[in-house]
Amino acid sequence: MWRYMGRKLGFYGLTFVIAVTINWMIPRFMPGDPVRSMLNRASISDPEALERMTTYYNEVFGLDTPLHQQYFAFWAGLFRGDLGVSVWLYPEPVTDIILRHVPYTLGLLIPAIVLSWIVGNHFGAFAARGKVLDNTLLPVGYVLTATPYMWMALLLLWALGVMGGFFPTAGGYGFALTPSWSWPFFLNLVTHWFLPFLSMFIVGLGGWAIGMRNMIIYELEADYSNYLQALGAPRRLIRRYAFRNAMLPQITGLAVQLGTIIAGALLTEIVFTYPGLGTLILRSLNNNDLFLLQGIFLFVVIGVLIANFIIDIIYVLVDPRTRVQMTGGSS
């Protein structure tokens, strides 16, 4: 067990180092000079002032030292939780900006993914049971998964937000409010959260339901099911085993989904002007803020690794075969 965990941890550690290195390299070897685009915005016409300010900012961002020093400084900063200073929102620290946006993204995506996973799996398993339900649910599920997400989100926004007026169309909370620990503020937060959540939930639901339904049918036709049936086992028991087996790929799927959490939020947040990390990615790209972009990607990398690690542990608990591997029982 510990050897298995140790090996996994080593693997994750190595992945992390490589990811951070690539993450560090990309902005530095990409065309475009962040300091220059920052100064371009300041409209400085005097050439000498421009030159002096360029030197100054290069020093601030640590771009005047040799590359290898920049690399080690990056690692050193990383362990202090310091990801540098944003160019676009100068002089705010990258870490502060990211931490401000993270709660929105997590608050939106974790419920959307987990709930759509739970509900989708139950619906799928349920559908596999009956012909009528299968015939109605399957097409709906296919339509939902095949719908381009953007279109679905815009449709919801238009119908429930602009036309219906049930929900606000933009922002994380009402523009008339200042954040506070109060019921009105919390309810307002929920109304702004709901449409983006719903759009992700609906689209996710279809995929999980179809996946589960197909898996269950496959498992019900597997040899062990037929064998159990031949033995005269109750149908409920067979279904329970089928459900358990069908769950495994779904758990992997969940891990992948949770890992790519940030990317999944991009479109949602842009459509609903939701102030999370997705919006931040777009903005830092548009503003050539490589330091901020780097910070966000690092955050994503850490998120993916942690999610996968947790799933690894869960696998040990739910899949007996992994346990067997750990003790060296399988070939």
| Sole binder of other proteins in the list 102, 106, 198, 326 (CB under 8 A) | 198
208 binds other proteins, rule: CB under 8 A: no
157 binds other proteins, rule: CB under 8 A: yes
179 binds other proteins, rule: CB under 8 A: yes
Q: How far apart are CA 121 and CA 247, in angstroms?
A: 8
CA angle 218, 219, 224 (to 5 degrees): 130
DSSP assignment of 140-163: HHHHHHHS-HHHHHHHHIIIIIII
| Sole binder of other proteins in the list 162, 263, 318, 324 (CB under 8 A) | 162
| Sole binder of other proteins in the list 2, 29, 43, 317 (CB under 8 A) | 43
Residues whose CB falls within 8 Å of the CB of residue 28, separated by 6 or more in sequence, listed in order: 67, 70, 290
- Beta partners for 85? 93
286 binds other proteins, rule: CB under 8 A: yes
CA atoms within a 13 Å half-sphere pointing along the CA-CB vector of 222: 16
- Beta partners for 93? 85
Of 183-191, 218-226, 250-258, 313-321, the segment contacting other proteins by CB under 8 A is: 183-191
Q: How far is the CB of 143 from other proteins (least distance, A)?
A: 18
| Sole binder of other proteins in the list 3, 41, 235, 240 (CB under 8 A) | 41
Q: How far apart are CA 61 and CA 291, in angstroms?
A: 9
76 binds other proteins, rule: CB under 8 A: no
| Sole binder of other proteins in the list 5, 8, 27, 44 (CB under 8 A) | 44
Considering the complex, state which of residue 40 and residue 135 has its C-beta at the smaller distance from other proteins.
40
In this structure, which amino acid lies at residue 299?
A: F
167 binds other proteins, rule: CB under 8 A: yes
36 binds other proteins, rule: CB under 8 A: yes
101 binds other proteins, rule: CB under 8 A: yes
On the 0-12 / 13-18 / 19+ scale of CB atoms within 10 A, 218 is middle
Considering the complex, state which of residue 7 and residue 52 has its C-beta at the smaller distance from other proteins.
52
115 binds other proteins, rule: CB under 8 A: yes
Q: How far apart are CA 151 and CA 276, in angstroms?
A: 20
1 binds other proteins, rule: CB under 8 A: no
Considering the complex, state which of residue 153 and residue 307 has its C-beta at the smaller distance from other proteins.
153
Q: Tokens 């709901």 sit at which residue?
A: 194
Considering the complex, state which of residue 59 and residue 221 has its C-beta at the smaller distance from other proteins.
59
